[in-house]
């Protein structure tokens, strides 16, 4: 039997550096960080007072007022990214059978910020002050379910909550669903809206975030010797994944093949990566095996690169373990748009696809003095012109989740 292949035909995103794939890619090419002082709430008393915020998001540009009113920011971002992805793929109501189109999303925290806001209202004014939409807005599945209702797609539908790897996990699940014949088309990605006082403060208490408050644009610095933590962000990204013959039949532009997926767990610690990186390396090898690729086939790694002291060193070990002494190009792009938790894997999958398509590998933002422990081929400066044939995108999350996606040129 013919193996069903999955290809990427559209990308939609809403991020601090731009909305829509063209704006995202332009933002990556410019290399200007969107990190600034938090404006969403008063950060007094917090060690970290900076974030990557989307300052110009208008949900009414993507949905009518009634639908927008029924959603919190988390779901609005998901629907907006899905809308942009469908536009980019030129996928209309007649191009995809509703029952054969699935939606797979990921989010670390779901609607927690809206729940936090409503909790404050409850304590200030009782039940009557709470939004009647609270009950169906806060659960993680609100993203994929609201997308289904917005677009009319009735195929398989789920939102996973595998922390900062959840966007990548969702894309991997879409690949599996298409291969198994459960869907011909899938919208897959991640959404996150975590910028609220308690949610932000919880990570601040872990001392996991950068306190470079006097220089926000330079705070997120993956693999840099002077990194001191990640910078929280918000956003959403959705990829349109199609079965190859379905895409060809409708004349779709194929951006890349989604060729492989690997998923493992460290089984070590909730917030600290396994020091050896062995399970993260195994996830890369699983993705390569799934894609029928060897380590020698990979030209570029879009790193998780969270800018935390432990993660970046461990990820460097992973690269050396999998690729040996062969210099594979590596970069981390979170210095531009922060770390939007469950959405980051989807945003970085989009960047990996564009790197394949455009023949340009982005640099590691804010990398001024590479950590000597990160003894890998890190891209610096203005990026690198290179025709990559195959790339991988790494995503790691709390709980020891390791998710890796492999894409190939088409």
Residue 193 CB partners (closer than 8 Å, separation 6+): 72, 73, 74, 77, 111, 113, 114, 234
Instruction: Quickly count: other Cβ atoms within 10 Å of residue 124's Cβ.
Output: 8
Distance, in Å, from the CA atom of 87 to the CA atom of 39, rounded to the nearest integer, reads 31
Tokens for 311, please give them: 């993660």
Distance, in Å, from the CA atom of 123 to the CA atom of 383, rounded to the nearest integer, reads 51
Could you tell me what percentage of the chain is helix, strand and coil, using 3-state DSSP and rounding each to the nearest 5?
Answer: 40, 20, 40
Tokens for 409, please give them: 């040129």
Distance, in Å, from the CA atom of 269 to the CA atom of 272, rounded to the nearest integer, reads 5
Distance, in Å, from the CA atom of 99 to the CA atom of 95, rounded to the nearest integer, reads 12
Tokens for 51, please give them: 């974030």
Whether 339 sits among the annotated catalytic residues: the reply is yes
Nearest to 110 by CA among 175, 163, 37: 163
Name the active-site residue from 13, 145, 164, 246. 164
Task: Please answer whether residues 265 and 402 qualify as being in contact, where contact means their C-beta atoms are separated by less than 8 angstroms.
Answer: yes
Nearest to 351 by CA among 5, 9, 29: 29
Task: Please answer whether residues 102 and 174 qualify as being in contact, where contact means their C-beta atoms are separated by less than 8 angstroms.
Answer: yes
Q: What is the DSSP letter of 363?
A: P
Name the active-site residue from 13, 88, 246, 304. 304
Whether 268 sits among the annotated catalytic residues: the reply is no
Name the active-site residue from 13, 145, 246, 339. 339
Distance, in Å, from the CA atom of 271 to the CA atom of 207, rounded to the nearest integer, reads 11
Tokens for 173, please give them: 């699940």
Instruction: Quickly count: other Cβ atoms within 10 Å of residue 250's Cβ.
Output: 16
Residues noted as catalytic? 164, 304, 339
């Amino acid at each position: 039997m013919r193996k069903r292949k999955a290809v990427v035909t559209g990308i939609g995103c809403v991020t601090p550096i731009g909305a829509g794939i063209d704006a995202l890619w332009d933002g990556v090419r410019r290399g200007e960080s969107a990190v600034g002082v938090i404006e969403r709430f008063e950060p007094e008393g917090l060690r970290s007072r900076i974030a990557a915020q989307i300052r110009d998001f208008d949900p009414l540009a993507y949905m009518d007022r009634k639908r927008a009113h029924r959603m919190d920011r988390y779901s609005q971002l998901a629907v907006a990214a899905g809308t942009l992805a469908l536009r980019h793929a030129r996928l209309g109501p007649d191009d995809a059978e509703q029952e054969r189109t699935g939606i797979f999303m990921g989010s670390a925290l779901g609607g927690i910020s809206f729940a936090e806001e409503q909790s404050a209202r409850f304590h200030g004014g009782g039940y009557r002050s709470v939004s009647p939409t609270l009950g169906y807005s806060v659960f993680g599945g609100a993203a994929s379910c609201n997308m289904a209702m917005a677009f009319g797609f009735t195929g398989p539908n789920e939102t996973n909550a595998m922390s900062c790897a959840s966007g990548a996990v969702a894309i991997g699940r879409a690949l599996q669903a298409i291969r198994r014949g459960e869907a011909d088309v899938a919208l897959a990605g991640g959404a996150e809206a975590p910028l609220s006082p308690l949610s932000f403060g919880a990570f601040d208490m872990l001392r996991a975030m950068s306190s470079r408050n006097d220089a926000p644009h330079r705070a997120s610095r993956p693999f840099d010797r002077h990194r001191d933590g990640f910078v929280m962000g918000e956003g959403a990204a959705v990829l349109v994944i199609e079965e190859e013959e379905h895409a060809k039949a409708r004349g779709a532009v194929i951006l890349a093949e989604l060729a492989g997926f690997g998923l493992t767990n460290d089984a070590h610690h909730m917030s600290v990566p396994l020091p050896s990186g062995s399970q993260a390396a195994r996830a890369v090898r699983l993705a390569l095996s799934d894609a029928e690729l060897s380590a020698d086939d990979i030209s570029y790694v879009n790193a998780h690169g969270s800018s935390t002291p432990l993660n970046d060193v461990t990820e460097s070990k992973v690269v050396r373990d999998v690729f040996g002494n062969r210099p594979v190009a590596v970069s981390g792009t979170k210095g531009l748009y922060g770390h939007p938790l469950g959405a980051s894997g989807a945003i970085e999958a989009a960047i990996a696809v564009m790197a394949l398509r455009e023949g340009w590998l982005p640099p590691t933002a804010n990398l001024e003095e590479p950590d000597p422990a990160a003894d890998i081929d890190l891209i610096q400066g203005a990026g690198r012109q290179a025709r990559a044939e195959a790339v991988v995108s790494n995503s790691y999350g709390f709980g020891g989740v390791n998710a890796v996606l492999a894409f190939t040129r088409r």
